[in-house]
Amino acid sequence: MRRNIVIAAVTAAALIGGGTATALATTGDDGRSTTPRADVSVSDDGGVRDESDGHDDDSADDREDRDDAALASSAKVTAADAIAAALRDTPGTAVSADLDDEDDDADDGGDDRGGRGAWEVDVLSGDGTWHSVRIDPASGKVLGSHEDADEDDTAEARAALEGGSVSAAEAARAAAGKSTVTSVDLDDDGDDGPAAWEVETRADGKGEQDWRVDLKTGKVTADRSDSDGSGSDDSGSDDD
């Protein structure tokens, strides 16, 4: 009984104090020496480490990051190609495209792809209605589409695009020279300067990087508001 109390106390101290605690061999009521099966410690980043293998348990963010990287590297259909496929199905102006790892085909009548994710392209039609079109990242097939009645920023999007000559697909191709494009979105709120295309890329071993593509010139620059600060300005551009 006393042995159980000692081990519990040591483990609790490790979890509360954020340090490493080792449970020493203790003597039970019957006089025999007993040793805990494994040590427990808390790592500096808050993860629980099992001393038996010396590795932190994976956090949810780590697993999600690996899933996103795997999806990006396995996608055979580029952002620009996904946008083109969506516009063939639903004419209008593509305002965003995102490589989504959520498999929600049931919502738009698509088929089951075994969790491969999809490109989700938002299209603003000429009559002002919004449509969400899902594209298979392996084949470019249209998996389904539906009208998005919740969108209410039609005027803002049209105002931002007015006078611009660079489409979402062209912005994706321009940023593709940096790395694999995983999303393109119209930034029209003005918080980061004039309206521009915001493009996210992902490189193996380098994580995510955000870029801004000028609506008029197609110039690609690193997004200064990028929280990890890993990118630097780049004046190069691909004006397709």
Q: Is residue 7 part of a domain?
A: yes
Residues 114 and 28 in one domain: no
What is the predicted pLDDT for the residue at 64? Answer: 66
Average the pLDDT over each of 68-82, 103-117, 146-160, 198-212 and give the range with the smallest value.
103-117
* Same domain flag for 98 and 44: no
> Which helix (H) or strand (E) covers residue 2, if one does?
helix 2-17
Name the CA radius of gyration of the chain, rounded. 25
Q: Please state the rounded mean pLDDT for residues 213-225.
A: 91
| CATH at 205 | 3.10.450.40
* The CA-based dihedral angle spanning residues 128, 134, 138, 141, taken in that order and rounded to the nearest 10 degrees: -70
- Least confident range from 43-47, 58-62, 186-190: namely 43-47
Pair (151, 178) in one structural domain: yes
With respect to residue 230, please indicate whether it lies within any of the assigned structural domains: no
Q: Which of 23, 29, 26, 22 is nearest to 1 (CA)?
A: 29
Q: Are residues 82 and 196 in the same domain?
A: yes
Name the residue among 168, 187, 179 with its Cα closest to residue 81: 168
In a domain, 36, yes or no: yes
Same domain (yes/no): 89, 170: yes
Q: Same structural domain for residues 136 and 202?
A: yes
What is the helix, strand, coil percentage profile of the chain, to 5? 25, 30, 45
Looking at the structure, tell me whether residues 23 and 76 fall in a common domain.
no
**Residue 236, domain member (yes or no):** no
In degrees rounded to 5, what are phi and psi of residue 3? Answer: -60, -40
Give the residue ranges of DSSP H helices in 105-197.
154-161, 168-175
Task: Check whether residue 166 and residue 95 sit in a common domain.
Answer: yes
Q: Which domain holds residue 191?
A: 67-222
Q: What is the pLDDT of residues 94-125, one digit of tens each?
A: 999 999 986 554 444 544 444 569 999 999 99
0.75 exceeded by pTM: no
Q: How many domains does the chain have?
A: 2
| Same-domain pairing of 92 and 171 | yes
Q: Residue 175: which pLDDT band, with cuts at 50, 70 and 90?
A: very high
Rounded to the nearest integer, the mean pLDDT of the chain is 74
Residues 177 and 88 reside in one and the same domain: yes
Higher pLDDT, 108 or 196: 196
Domain assignment present for residue 233? The answer is no
Residue 25 lies in a domain: yes
Is residue 29 situated within a structural domain? Answer: yes
Is the residue at 100 inside a domain? yes
Dist. CA 164–CA 160, nearest whole Å:
8
**pLDDT > 80? residue 206:** no
Residue 79 and residue 29 in one domain: no
Lowest mean pLDDT among 49-58, 132-141, 198-207: 49-58
Q: Looking at the structure, do residues 38 and 151 belong to the same domain, yes or no?
A: no
